[in-house]
Structure formats: structure tokens, C-alpha cells
Structure 1
Amino acid sequence: MKALPYGISDFPRIRCEDYYYVDKSRFIEMLERQPPYLFLIRPRRFGKSLFLAMLEAYYSIDYAGRFEELFGELYIGQHPTKRHNSYMVLRFNFSEVSSKLEFVDRSFCEYCCMVMKNFILKYEHLLGSGIWEVVNPDETNPEQMLAALKEYVSRTDCPRIYLLIDEYDNFTNTILSSYGQERYREKTHGEGLIRGFFNNVKASTSNAGAAVERLFITGVSPITMDDVTSGFNIGTNISMLPQFNDIIGFSEDEVREMITYYKDENALPADVTVDELVELMKPWYDNYCFSEDSLEERMFNSDMTLYFLNNYLQLGKVPKMMVDNNIRTDYSKLRHLIQIDKTFGVNASVIQQIVAEGSITVQIATSFPAEKMTDTENFKSLLFYFGMLSIQGVYRGTPVLGIPNLTVREQLYTYLVEAYSKASIFNVDISHFSSLVMEMAYDGKWESVFRFFARELERQSAIREFIDGEAHVKGFLLAYLGLTQGYVLFPEHESSKGYADFYMMPDLLHQPDIAYSYIVEVKYAKRDASEEDIASLKKEAAEQLVRYAADEKVLRTKGGTKLELITLVFKGWELIIAEKL
């Protein structure tokens, strides 16, 4: 039985050691029909490195003798292009560069020069010994070394170079998040080493007989490329083209095919169907879309999919933690990159709006410098590139972005709670709050949860100026409830059927003995609202609760729990009604 390649991005190893491989080789044909210098942005842990490793094995001359072994059974092996195994491949992975400020220059120089020296040694039989007369093997400046290499290649008849750069912005993003914009600017602007290096990359593609004939760069945002090249004007950004929506990650069909393979190998419990596993995974790992022209084609995060299946194959049940710790670590880095305004500024409010309302609209920016990344429209675009938001539709010609899945929602809840705390606006004892939620889940003591939360709203005066509408109260509640265990929260905006605010679906996969499930409707009245206004809100809440209680999803997922329908009415920051229907 094929092993799952969880955590492996070595394409030859996957093919030779008989790991399961989701064939993405058909995109090679499509890429060759594009301009020769390409740029692809995708979220972290989506399979970019494996894709570049496949390109290296396909195009590099030194893999020519292994073409059948590596590609024979794949699409491109059956439909090879003329360019296969015809290049010298120079591949950089900038995640290997140190992001510690005191070491970054030296690490960048040492790494780049090492990669280029190894490239020359590997292809010396094609380059000729004269290469060492032009390129100093002891060179420590990567800009100079690349300049010498491209000059030599461009005036000889040796094969051209296919340049691959993986995670081009990895260490610069870390510098930006850890040390701030000024230090980041020192490394990416003016006479900085990184800018000089990319200037030579550009030069390598532009002269007659250019040394670099093809180029493929991957990253998680367009910021660094905009900064080091004054806009990505050396290539074509294919990130949002509809034909490349599924170039990275797994489609639902690919996930089903993988699960079916292991089902046929009797590696899964006999009573578990493919449909059941897909339905388990979809809310957590699916629903990424990178092109407004591919709305029907939603992608699974490949790392998270493999994490789940790897655990399931070993244990015969869902993993205890549905979110891979590696994903949590990566999202933590992204949260620090998106600097939180100490005064809970407009961009923190953007996060709150997304959590409460489910979506925002924005014309996605294709490039912007780091100094403008906190501009609201750029900030929204950055959330899209990082995978925290995904395209859900189009409204009046503008893309609608929403939270793709539960994994991302958990990260946004964490972000929002951190923002409240850092801005000294609101801070709740999560440990105590979680214990109250457990009593709610097992003993039906729901009122103490919301009364405690309401008391905190009253006690912490700094929060009051932010409570100017129902969405804010709801946003606070969702953020904090989302960080407790026992329930999976499904806000109403996911259904768009005029239901109550959120369904607290019992997490029966991990806590099968939970006794209660809840649907909650939050209503907000202004401080001067009349008794008639309050009565009207209460009546409206009851109607929405009853409607949601009859929803097929609720009936299917509540299991044997007792479903309680809760109305909360806030008047200003005061909870004046908390009752069960």
C-alpha cells in the first residue's frame, strides 16, 4: 500500500518510494503556454514546494535518464512536451535563509552562493571548465556571482537556465513581522543585498541570449516582490487566473480518489464511507478559491488533508486535534505580520466585521509595498493571500471574501481576542469561561455563560465605546466562544436563510457524551429603546430560532443532544433578556 507523503516535498522520493501522489503534472503543459517568467502566490503549507520539486525533476537535464521512472505513469509522462529535461535548473528555497536580523545578510549571501556553486558543479560538464575563470568559487556576494554566471551562460552555447525560487518572501516576511518596516526596508530597498540580487535575476531574463529562459517564483504575498523590483515587472502573475485555481492544493475529486484508494486497500474501517470522511473534512480544510471565475471549484489545503488522513489511517478515527500544530505555528507568524493596532484601529475592526458578518468585499490588489499593507483595501487583500479569506462570490463586480473553513476561523478568533487584549479594550479569563462552557455542554447551565460575559462587558468600561451595534456584541461572543472546546460554531451567515445568529454544534467526534446543543439569537437595542421595541426584538428572535431548529443540518448534527433555543437581548452593553424558548 502506498504511504501518505505527509510533510514530504521531495518529488523523486515520493515517486521512487511509492508514496501516494496527486498528479499535478498536467499543469506543465499549461504553464508552457504562458509567458516564460511566472509568479504564483498561495497560502503556506499548500504544496508549493512539492510542485517546484516536480518542475525541477521534469526540466532538469540531470534527471533525463529517470524520466520514465518519475513521470511514466503521470499525465505528463504520457504527454511529454519538447522542453522536458532540456534545462539546467537553478533552484533556491529562501526558507533556508536565517531571518534573525544580525545574521540575515551573511545567511543570504552564504546560502545563495552555495546554491550557485553547487549548480555549477552539477552542470560543469555542460558549462565547461571555463566557467571557473569567470565565476570565482570563493565569491561571497550573490549579486556578483549571479551576474558572472548569467554573463557566461548568455555568451556560450550551453543549455539555458530554468530558475526556480521557492518561498521567495519567507525570511523577509519574518523580518517585517519581528523587526518592523524600517529594518525590513533596509534589506529590501536601496543598495540592499536582496534588491541587488533580484535586479540581477531581472537582468538574467532580459538581454539577447538571456541566460534564464524560464522562471517560476512562489510566495505567500506580493509585498516583497513589489519592494525589491518596483512592482513585479519581470513576469506574469498567474495567481488568480481561473485555469490555475487548482494548481496547488487538492480538489474534492482528488480527495475522494485518495480516500477511495485507501478504502479499497482495506486501510479504513469497514463501516466508514468515502462520503462520510469527505463530509468530516470539508468544514475544516476545504473551501479555498483563488479566482472569481472558478467559484464552483473549491480547494482543500493539501497539508491539512494529509494530516487528517495520516492520523485516520493510523488510529482508525479522527485526530484529537483537527488543526495541525504546524498550521497553527504558521498562522501565528502571519498574525504577527499583520501588525495589531494598539488602539484597535480600522484593520482590527475589519477582522471583527468578518467574524460577525462572515464576509467583506474588496478589489484584490495584485501588488503593494510593505509600507502600504495596512491600508484597509491592501489589508483585506493580504488576508486573502495568506489564506485567511477566500473568494466566495462576486457582488456588483467586486469579489466577496469570506472565511474558508473552521481551521481559519479559529485563527481569526485568536487574532481578534489578542487584538482586544493588546489594545486594553477587553480581556476575559478564558480558563474560567471554558469551564462555564463545559457546564453548558454537559449540565445544560447555559445562562451562567452569557451572564458572565455580560458582566464582563459591564465591568470593563473600555469596551463600551465599541458596542454600538448587534454585530459587535456578536463578534465578541463568537471570538471567545470559538476558543473554547465542546462546540463547533456555525454563524448564521453561512446559511444565508434568515436563521438565528449561531448554532453551537456539539463536537460529538471528540466529546461524544455532550448532552446539550444550542442555537443562539443575539438582539441589540439602543439605550433608549422602548418596551415595545424590546418585545418586537424578542418576537423576531423566537421566529428565527424556530426556523433554524428545523434546519436539516441541525437535525443531522445534534445527535442525541437536547437542543436548546436561546434568546439574548442587549440594551447597550446590558443583557436584559436571557431566556430559553
Structure 2
Amino acid sequence: MMKKLPVGVDGFEKIRTQGFYYVDKTMFIAELLENWGEVNLFTRPRRFGKTLTMDMLKAFFEIGCDRTLFDGLEISKETELCEEYMGKFPVISITLKSVDGKNYQEACAALRSVIGIEAMRFLFLLESDRLSEEERAMYRQLIEVGSLQSSVFTMTDAVMLTSLKVLSLLLSKHYGRQVILLIDEYDVLLDKAFQNGYYDEMVMLIRNLFGNALKSNADLYFAVITGCLRVSKESIFTGLNNLNVMTVTDEYFSDSFGFTDDEVKELLVYYGREEAADIMREWYDGYRFGERLIYCPWDVIKYTQALRRNKNALPDNYWANTSGNELVRHFIDKADQSTRDEVEQLIAGGAVRKRIRQELTYREIDSSIENLWSVLLMTGYLTTTGRVSAKDYTLAIPNAEIRDLFVTQVREWFGDTSRADISRIEKFCAAFPDGDAERIEEMLHGYLWDSISVRDTAVRRNMKENFYHGMVLGLLQSRSDWLVRSNAETGEGYSDILVYTPDKIGIVIELKYADDGNLEKGCADALRQIEERKYTAALERRKAAKIIKYGMAFWEKECRVVMGGQ
């Protein structure tokens, strides 16, 4: 029976025991043991397998582990390593991605719950004859809840701040072995705290919690921490001199998160969809970690799932659709004309040179457009194409999925900023039923020079036309009393934009992108297409009193508008 695709499954044991396909990343364990520091921080974008990797580490190192989970995997060939390390350590494992709250008190309650639930995995400590009564009392403070029916943990703030250190002390004393500490998605709660206005309080709490657990902890063998961003040492990791940081620009562990080209090919062959390799690469490859090109695993799994249902399935924005992508939108909102020009270069397939700051506080992220470039790299919206100096990199959009996201966000941004200028937009819209092609062209030209456009031959023609189509459509849709349709079926095909006003004026608009810069020919081709494909048929059926046809042609930031015969 063919294995299931692990869509949204990040439990290592579940994948290995319930018939899910697994891309073998177990040699990460060997590389970690060979290159580890006492505290190891790995930063990668979301949906690149960080949580599954952490669960794999827990399954490998924890005392009492099921060794058969690793049968047939690459790490099982390292017999001496497995004999020395597999199943030999107490492991504390928490994820902070669910720690949220509208205020600091709610977030603290959520953090208590995460720590308390993990502590309850070790209820045997209540009966351990290797602990003193005082030490067992310390453990009870970690797991106490308000009532038998309540799941609200009541540990005080002081107890919470020392909770991970105390738990490592108790486990180390019980087992006679140092503890491995795993903290997944450490920066998520900081992001949420910043968004909800209690960032300073949360920074102080996490600084103390991590400081107690990670700094001068004699009971700690090593710790692994994951997140998207490397939050400034002065903010969180104060005084932590044993921090071993591995970001997307580092050579080590470059293929430990995400899928390599060979791994994707093997997966597609397994499911009989190897013919989709090229489109999979175009849409979801292109992330450069160190010197390795890496696919986003979430995208690969989701698109393979679609291909299993329909071998001709088109790719989609799977990764981009897992969040609101406010970061790109915020970046575009803050962009000046120079930065907009750089975004155009990126969308067109080019690269920009930027100085990257690997350490930032959340307050600094928003303080300048230059810092936002760094965040776009760390969170997966951009990737490196080369290193110019110690801190300077060339950045590019990694693949078709992210390019499409940028185009979409640019289009939405343009529509919103344009609609904010009510008088300007009203004049623009009024020019269409007035038959004033000159005014339409003049105002479109102004909008283009104020905005980000899609240019250059590096981008497919339909993507360029889609951008200009979306821009004009967004402007016209500001008239709520007009019927405005996009790609409406009429006559013998689909017109780009169809408008019907309360005054029974019908408007047909066809857009072209002039690859050769010949705007006059582009307009003529557009008007000819309206006539040949009878795009006015739907308006004629509505008994339009007047029908106006416009051919529009665009090239970079230049445009031409020609009105056809009435």
C-alpha cells in the first residue's frame, strides 16, 4: 500500500508508525553531535520542518525511546553513535508557537500551561527515591492546577522563571544523566507580544527563563532552539556566551531543513509524478541555505497531494497562503520610490545588494526599511544569490510562488493607496464614460510612476498583463454603483474588463503588454481583438445606450490608451 503524504503532520512517531512518507533527515543528529555547542539556535522560515526535526531529536535521545522508529533510516547505519546516544538522556521538549494572549497576563497563563503540561510527563518524580522531599515539593509546584476540574496551572511567576532549570535539575538527579532541552519556535511569542503591546514584559520574562535554563546550568547536556529570526542577544540571550547560531546563510546544516532536489525527485518518482519535476522546481525550489538550493517542504507535499488527484494540477501558493503575509505588505507600504524600483527589479527576476543584520530586536525590525530587507531574507520571502562581503548579500525572490505573492501584494497595495485619493480616482473613473482617452492615459501614467510595476522579459507575459489588469480593475471597482466584471465571458471569448454604468453606458477594455515597447501596435491589437471576438455582445444584450471600447497597452511604466469606434 502506498504511503500517505504527511500533510500537516509533524509528529515523528506518528509518521513512522502510521504509514506516512518520510524524507529522511536523521543524519541531522550525527551532524549536530559533531558540530554542537552547548546551546544551538537554528533559524529557518516557517513550514520548513523545524518542529518535525525537534520531535525527531526527542524520539532519538529520550530514555525509553522506541529504537525501531529509526530502523532503515540513515542514522541507524551509525552503529557506534546510536549505541552511545540513542535513548540515553532525559529530554525536556516544549514549543512556544501556541503561547498567545491579548495581554501579558493571558500570555503568561499560556506559557504556564506549556511548561506545566511538559512537566506532567514526568509524574514518576513524585515517587522518586533519588529526590529529597524538598525536591519533590519543587516538582509539585510545577504541576499544580487550580482544581481537579481545572487545567489552569497555578505556578507563580517566580516558579515559572526557574521552571526549566528546576525540571532539568530534578530529571538529572533522578536519572544520573544530564538533560537535553528542546525549545521550538522560541520567537513566536515575542512576535505576538510585540503585536499586542506587551513586548517589554515578555522580553524580560523570556530573558530570565532562558537565562536560568541555559546559562551555567550544570544539569544541561545541550539545548536546541528553533525560530524564524535570530533575536538580538541583548534582547533575549543576555550573557549567554555558549550560543551556537546557525542561520540561513551558514554552511553547516544547510540541507537539514527543507527538501533537496534529489529528495523531491525521489518523492515524485514514488508517487508516479516525476513528469512534474520541472514545474515543482520552478515554483517551490530556489531557497539558498548556505550553498545548497532547497525546496519548501510544505509546498512540495501540498502540490504532490494535488498531483495525486489530478496529474495536470496547476501549482498554487501553498506556503504563502498559510499566513496573512503582513510582512510583505508592510514592507511595500514603507517603500519609497527607490525601494519600489528595487521591488520591480526583484519581481522582474533581478537581484538587489543589501547589508543584512542577522541580529535584530522586534523594535528594530520596524524602525527602517533596511532592517525589513533582513527580515524578508530570514523569513523566506527572499533568498541570497551571493555574498559580497561579511555582511553584504545579493538578494532575490526564490521562486514563482513568492514572485506571484509579491505581485499580488503589490496589486492590493496599489489599489488601496489609489482608492485613498478619492478626488483623483473619481476623475479617473469619470473619464471612461466621457470617452476621454487622453485623460485616462495621463492619469494612468501618473499612477504607474507612483507605483511598483511588473517589467522585464524575465517575468512571463501573462504575469505582466495580470499586474496592469489588476491595477486598472482595482481603480474602476472603487465605483460601487458600476457593474465591473473581470475576464467576463462575452461573445467568443473573455474580455479583460467589462463595465456597465447606471446611465446604460457600456465599456469594454482590453489590455496588452508591449514586449517590444510598441504601444500603438499594442492598442491596435487590443481593439482588433474586441471586434473579432465580439466582446460587446453582453453589453448589447443589456440594451446599452452607448458602448465605448478602449485598447490599452503597457510597457514598464509607460502606457497608451486608444478609444475604438462607437
| TM-score after normalising by structure 1 | 0.68
Structure 1 residue 123: Cα displacement: 6.2
- One of 49, 52, 60 as aligned partner of 1:50: 52
Give how far 1:99 is off: 4.1
How far did 1:83 drift? 1.6
Q: What is the match of residue 15 of structure 2?
A: 14
1:476-555 equivalences under 5 Å are 481-482=466-467, 520-521=514-515
Residue 399 of structure 2 corresponds to which residue in structure 1? 405
Match of 2:209 in 1: 197
In 2, the alpha carbon distance for the partners of 1:414 and 1:103 equals 37
* Structure-1 residue corresponding to 2:269: 260
Instruction: Letter of the 1:70 partner, please give it.
Output: L
Q: Tell me which amino acid in the other structure corresponds to 1:87.
A: F
1:95·1:171 contact (CA, 8 Å) conserved in 2? yes
Using the TM superposition, give the Cα deviation of residue 92 of structure 1 relative to its aligned residue in structure 2, in angstroms.
Answer: 1.0
The match for 1:309 is: 304
CA shift for structure 1 position 150: 4.2
The alignment status of 1:165 with 2:183, answered yes or no, reads yes
In the alignment, is the contact (CA less than 8 A) between 1:568 and 1:577 conserved in 2? no
Contact 2:437 2:562 in 1 (8 A): no
The SS at the match of 2:279 is: helix
Paired letter, 1:384: L
- Aligned-pair CA distance for 1:101: 2.9
Give the corresponding residue for 2:86: 84
Cα distance change on mapping 1:123 and 1:133 into 2, 3 Å: closer
Note the C-alpha offset of 1:168: 1.1
| C-alpha distance 380-575 of structure 1, shift in aligned 2 (>3 A) | same
CA–CA distance in structure 2, aligned partners of residues 417 and 101 of structure 1: 34
Q: Which aligned pairs between 1:15-414 and structure 2 lie closer than 5 A?
A: 15-34=16-35, 35-63=37-65, 66-67=66-67, 69-80=68-79, 81=81, 82-101=84-103, 104-121=106-123, 128-130=130-132, 131-135=135-139, 136=141, 137-138=143-144, 139-141=155-157, 142-152=160-170, 158-176=176-194, 178-179=195-196, 183-188=198-203, 192-203=204-215, 206-207=216-217, 210-223=218-231, 227-230=235-238, 233-239=241-247, 240-263=249-272, 274=274, 276-291=275-290, 294=291, 297-319=292-314, 322-324=316-318, 327-335=320-328, 338=330, 341=333, 344=336, 350-356=342-348, 358-374=350-366, 375-395=368-388, 398-414=392-408
CA displacement 1:416-447 (0-9 Å, x = unmatched): 2344345458899xxxxxxxxxxxxxxxxxxx
Please, what TM-score do these two structures have when normalized by structure 2? Answer: 0.70
**Relative to structure 1, is the Cα distance of residues 340 and 76 closer, same or farther in structure 2, using a 3 angstrom cutoff?**
same
Structure 1: tracts of 5 or more residues without a match: 269-273, 429-447, 486-512, 524-534, 542-565
Give the secondary-structure state (helix, strand or coil) at the position aligned to 2:116.
helix
Query: Structure 2: how far apart are the matches of 1:453 and 1:413?
Result: 27
After superposition, give the CA deviation of every residue in 1:175-222 in whole Å (9 maximum; x if it has no partner).
43x33xx5323422xxx322321222333xx24xx2221111111111
Find the aligned partners of 1:330 and 1:122 in 2 and give their Cα distance. 40
Alpha-carbon distance in 1 for matches of 2:286, 2:250: 17
Aligned residues, how many? 461
**RMSD value over aligned CA atoms?**
4.3
- Where in structure 2 are there 5+ consecutive unaligned residues? 145-154, 423-431, 471-493, 496-509, 523-551
CA distance in 1, matches of 2:181, 2:234: 19
Q: Tell whether the 8 Å contact from 2:95 to 2:114 is kept in structure 1 after alignment.
A: no
Q: Structure 1 residues 461, 90: CA separation in 2 closer, same or farther (over 3 Å shift)?
A: same
Q: CA deviation at 1:79?
A: 0.9
- The 3 A distance-change label for structure 1 pair 577 and 79 is farther
1:302 offset after TM fit, Å? 0.6
Q: CA 1:101/1:199 → structure 2, altered by over 3 Å: closer, same or farther?
A: same
Counterparts of 1:215 and 1:464, CA distance in 2: 52
1:262 deviates by 2.3
Q: Is the 8 A contact 2:190 2:199 kept in 1?
A: yes
Query: Pick from 415, 419, 428: which aligns with 2:409?
Result: 415
Greater mean deviation of Cα atoms: 340-349 or 85-94: 340-349
Alpha-carbon distance in 1 for matches of 2:128, 2:269: 46
Number of the residue aligned with 2:442: 458
